[in-house]
Amino acid sequence: MLYKASLLAFSLLAPAALLPTSAQAAVNVDLVVRVPPPAVRYEPVPPPRPGYVWTPGYWAWRDNHHVWIAGTWVTARPGYVYYQPRWVERNGQWHYTRGYWGRHDKDHDGIANAYDHDRDGDGVRNNRDRHPDVPGR
């Protein structure tokens, strides 16, 4: 009887293990809010520093409002490219993705080569897209 109950419980719960978690389904989106970020502030870029990468300032979401985080130097990672944090509007909601280190950006445009064919993710290849950096257009 215990075996049958365990088998029944497993058969009911096993499919749930195959479902994506919210973090997996979000695909690198860390936060979604309805308030658009203010305009990016101008920050002069300091002269280059060997062994470091300048990460520009950005708007973060803290305590239910946008807060400016000033640019800073971070230690370079050979073979990697730093992708700065960004906000993207989709259907009236603002999606925030943290900055991260990534590979495979041969042209150093900040877009991984695997995604360079459709920068804004609208399903239209860049060479056919009249607005390749504007999602949904």
The strand ranges marked E within the chain are: 31-33, 52-55, 58-62, 65-69, 72-75, 81-83, 86-90, 93-97, 100-102
- 26-53 b/e with 16+ CB inside 10 Å = b? eeeeeeeeeeebeeeeeeeeeeeeeeeb
pLDDT for the residue numbered 83:
86
Q: What is the mean pLDDT of residues 87-100?
A: 93
Distance, CA of 132 to CA of 11 (rounded, Å): 46
Please state the pTM of the whole predicted model.
0.56
Both ends of the chain: CA-CA distance in Å?
A: 60
Domain coordinates in residue numbering, the chain: 28-103
pLDDT for the residue numbered 29:
64
pLDDT for the residue numbered 23:
35
